[in-house]
Structure 1
Amino acid sequence: MKIALVASLAWQDYRADARVSACMVLALVAVIAPLLVMFGLKFGLVGSLTERLERDPSVREVIPMGGGRFSAAFIGQLALRPDVAFALPRTRQIASTAELASPGQERKVNVEMIPTAAGDPLVGDITPVTRIDHILLSKTAAEKLGVRAGDWLDATFARQMGGRVQSQNIGLQVATVMSLEAFGRDGMFVSLALLEAVEDYRDGRAVEAFGWAGALSQADTERVFPAFRLYARNLDDVEPLRRYFADQHLLVSTKAQAISQVRSLSRNLSIVFWVIAALAVVGAVAAVFASALAAIERKRRELSVLRLLGLTTGALLLFVVLQASYSGVLATLVSIGLYHLAERCLNHLFVQGPDEYASLLLSGHFLVAAVAVLVASASAAALGGWRVAGIEASEGIRDV
């Protein structure tokens, strides 16, 4: 009951002294609003850059450099690593091309063949190919050929044997046409079995799966691949994978430097923000502390009367703390409103994509900011308000 009475008296006095209260609120707004905008820029900018990197699978790709000799077992072990999202063998680049044509049309398009399987980051949510005669066709190639999902294509694979050019044709069905964002060149994603068959044919081996004759039979020895497709599970796994391959004396190409730049930007912006925030908080605490001292001196007579009416030192201290808290709550609400205006303007001016933002704060950030402001205001007011302990009830009696 006494707490409710003190809270009511503090609020009535706070309203009666509206000009001074408004000045205190504006002083806090001058500190809180810029900090919210600054943190919103830091969180939004870094978050947008990080999401952009995470959306681009090529950033997480680890590309072996030079001609390697990798067994299927080795690549399979890579795929089982916890920091690897996808790993699949690749055949020789010179053997992974095809000439596509739409039945009944003369135009032909040379495309590269990329092995794919379930979990391929470039394919995303598209159903992976499960048959050797199914392909995922890039949008650029589909536009040149004038085909869409469900259509059949004639694929030609050529080789040179004994000074003569030979070729074989098979029919391939377009399971899906990929988006430009997924793959921007002329290409088709195929099963590894088709790539291996084409490589065997071009090496002069017979391919039993398609009935292609060759001077050599299919070798019983384990196949060796010159490269692989490998993607890290997340951005933080790219650098550890690079170090792993370096320890294996394997040269790989990664986007670790680009990822490191974003991480460094985040750290640097965090340092700048916390330095400025610390200075601003010190200034705000000092302002609330000084305001509490000034309020006690200005309202010494009123406070002594309250003590005469039976309020204890703790109740008088609560009176001062509550008034500082009222200022903190109002300043926080005004600052959040100003931040939303600034956020809308900044995002309108600087955002380029639909899913990007220059400034962003979540509900949790506002809650943390409100709690921090209330704690800082109440603590500063409590430190300055201890002077109420020196107010005697006799001072109120003399003024009666």
Structure 2
Amino acid sequence: MRRPLLIASLAWQDYRNDARLSACSVLALVAVIAPLLVLFGLKFGLVGSLTERLQRDPGVREIIPLGGGRFDATFVARLSARNDVAFAIPRTRQIAATAELLLPAKGRAVTVEMLPSAAGDPLLQGAPLPAGLRQVVLSATAAQKLGVQPGEQLVASFSRQQAGQLQWRQTRLQVVAVLPLAAFERDGLFASLALLEAAEDYRDGRAVPALDWPGEAQAVADQRVYPAFRLYARALGDVEPLRQFFAERSVLVSTQAAQIAQVQSLSRNLDLVFWIITALAVSGAIAAIAAGAVAAVERKQRELSVLRLLGLGTGALLLFVVLQALFSGVLGAAFAALLYALAEQGLNRLFMQVPGEYASHLLPLHYFIALLAVLLASTLAAALGGWRVARIDACEGIRDV
């Protein structure tokens, strides 16, 4: 244990005494490591921010059925149970899923789109869930036009054409929450599926006993068929498999798969560029460190021969050379990390557009991996270049004594 500590102490003293050449070795490593950190930081920051932005936007993960389909509740329930589906719920006909919201006290009215909602709806973003037939969540634009706040009540009016006559029914609804504008930018109303089914039944001329709306009695045995559904994939990578799933069943859907593929392609291309540049830079750094080790052995041949004369073997002399390369590696990695930290702040201030996103960003794990890579490359290069210590003869130290 004492001998390795002695060798480390001798290597450090010699490293300090040869300060100018040591500084050159450190700066040479900094010139390689710092640009690589900046390049990887840009790659990780830009692609990571783009991916997070897409992941946060539920609309990117939405799968919209096109045309009039025929889906029963069992089919939608099976979709909802899939591991790659975050949320799925049946949807009534678009023409029947509208309502006129009235606020008589303020004399305001707005026609809104009705969307079915349930637990896990990604558009609600943690807002209270509408329950029953008389609770709803409004979009920001609809609430602004009505001037309504959460907790207030309004009147919903539903009309239909029956026997050439225009008929309508009204019911009072309570606003339990108002969504932020980014969640839904149109005039919309989120309610339980039961309210949308009641509106569709009334417009089809059927009775709605729960709301005391008259009409034809519904057949108990009839199973409701829905023309569409609301469906959101669990992750960006699940959008394309779901699109293929529906394509195999001849269900035409609209997705953001092309936009997701562009970001994934950008990530792959940047990965390729980064690894090509890294391979070239690391190869050059290893060659430089190895050449430096060879030069150091040649320059310090007399000092190393004296150490051999004192009883140090080839392995100990090689450790002496490797330790000095590791000193340069640690210092070079530290200075490179400091330079990158300064560059990261400048790049983020210059290019950051959305709070919480980064143009350049590295995690602590990335710094740790970079340090290990530098130390490994330094050890390998110094070992390759320091093989000449095996040819040092102790007699050269005797001549020097």
Amino acid paired to 2:168: S
Amino acid paired to 1:161: Q
Q: Which residue of structure 1 aligns with residue 26 of structure 2?
A: 25
SS of match in other structure, 1:321? helix
1:225 aligns to 2:239 (yes or no): no
Q: Which residue of structure 2 aligns with residue 93 of structure 1?
A: 94
TM-fit CA distance, 1:394? 0.6
Q: Which residue of structure 2 aligns with residue 102 of structure 1?
A: 103
Is this contact kept in 2: 1:103–1:152, CA < 8 A? no
In 1: Cα distance, 2:21 partner to 2:383 partner: 19
- The number of aligned residues is 399
TM-score (norm 2): 0.98
Amino acid paired to 1:49: L
Deviations 1:202-239 (A, max 9, x none): 1111111111112x222331111110001111111111
In 1: Cα distance, 2:108 partner to 2:62 partner: 34
Deviations 1:370-396 (A, max 9, x none): 011001001110111110111111101
Q: Which residue of structure 2 aligns with residue 302 of structure 1?
A: 303
Is this contact kept in 2: 1:129–1:190, CA < 8 A? yes
Deviations 1:164-195 (A, max 9, x none): 11111100000011111111111110110000
In 2: Cα distance, 1:136 partner to 1:75 partner: 23
SS of match in other structure, 2:133? coil
Is this contact kept in 1: 2:116–2:191, CA < 8 A? yes
In 1: Cα distance, 2:37 partner to 2:92 partner: 53
In the TM superposition, 1:114-193 aligns within 5 A as 114-193=115-194
Which runs of no fewer than 5 residues in structure 1 stay unpaired?
none
Q: Which residue of structure 2 aligns with residue 36 of structure 1?
A: 37
In the TM superposition, 1:356-367 aligns within 5 A as 356-367=357-368
Amino acid paired to 1:307: R
In the TM superposition, 1:264-279 aligns within 5 A as 264-279=265-280
In the TM superposition, 1:1-400 aligns within 5 A as 1-214=2-215, 216-220=216-220, 221-400=222-401
SS of match in other structure, 1:136? strand
SS of match in other structure, 2:210? coil
Amino acid paired to 1:17: D
Which runs of no fewer than 5 residues in structure 2 stay unpaired?
none
TM-fit CA distance, 1:106? 1.8
Deviations 1:145-169 (A, max 9, x none): 1110100001111111122111111
Deviations 1:69-111 (A, max 9, x none): 1111111111111111111011111111111111322221111
Is this contact kept in 1: 2:99–2:114, CA < 8 A? yes
Is this contact kept in 2: 1:135–1:188, CA < 8 A? yes
TM-score (norm 1): 0.99
TM-fit CA distance, 1:327? 0.3
In 2: Cα distance, 1:364 partner to 1:107 partner: 56
Identity, in percent, stands at 65
Amino acid paired to 1:329: V
TM-fit CA distance, 1:127? 2.2
Is this contact kept in 1: 2:132–2:194, CA < 8 A? no
In 1: Cα distance, 2:137 partner to 2:104 partner: 18
In 2: Cα distance, 1:129 partner to 1:155 partner: 15
Amino acid paired to 1:147: V
In 2: Cα distance, 1:253 partner to 1:138 partner: 23
TM-fit CA distance, 1:200? 0.6
TM-fit CA distance, 1:367? 0.4
Amino acid paired to 1:90: R
In 1: Cα distance, 2:11 partner to 2:63 partner: 65
In 2: Cα distance, 1:81 partner to 1:326 partner: 54
Is this contact kept in 1: 2:131–2:191, CA < 8 A? no
In 2: Cα distance, 1:105 partner to 1:386 partner: 90
TM-fit CA distance, 1:303? 0.7
In 2: Cα distance, 1:276 partner to 1:159 partner: 68
